[in-house]
Amino acid sequence: MQTRSPFFDDLADIMTSATGAAAGIGEEVKSIFRAQADKFIAEMDLVSREEFDVQKALIEKLVQDNAALHAQIDAIKKAGEKPAPAKRGTRKPKA
- Hey, where are the domains in the chain? 13-45, 47-79
Give pLDDT tens digits for 23-51: 888 888 899 999 999 898 888 888 889 99
Report how far residue 87's alpha carbon sits from residue 32's, in angstroms, rounded to the nearest whole number: 84
Tell me the pTM.
0.43
pLDDT at 11: 79
What single string gives the DSSP state of each residue in 49-70?
HHHHHHHHHHHHHHHHHHHHHH
What is the mean pLDDT of the segment spanning 83-90?
62
CA pair distance 36, 21, nearest whole angstrom:
23
Q: How far is CA 57 from the centre of its chain?
A: 13
| Amino acid letter, 81 | E
- Count CB atoms within 10 A of the CB of residue 94: 4
Report the pLDDT value the prediction gives residue 1, as an integer from 0 to 100: 47
Report pLDDT for 7. 77
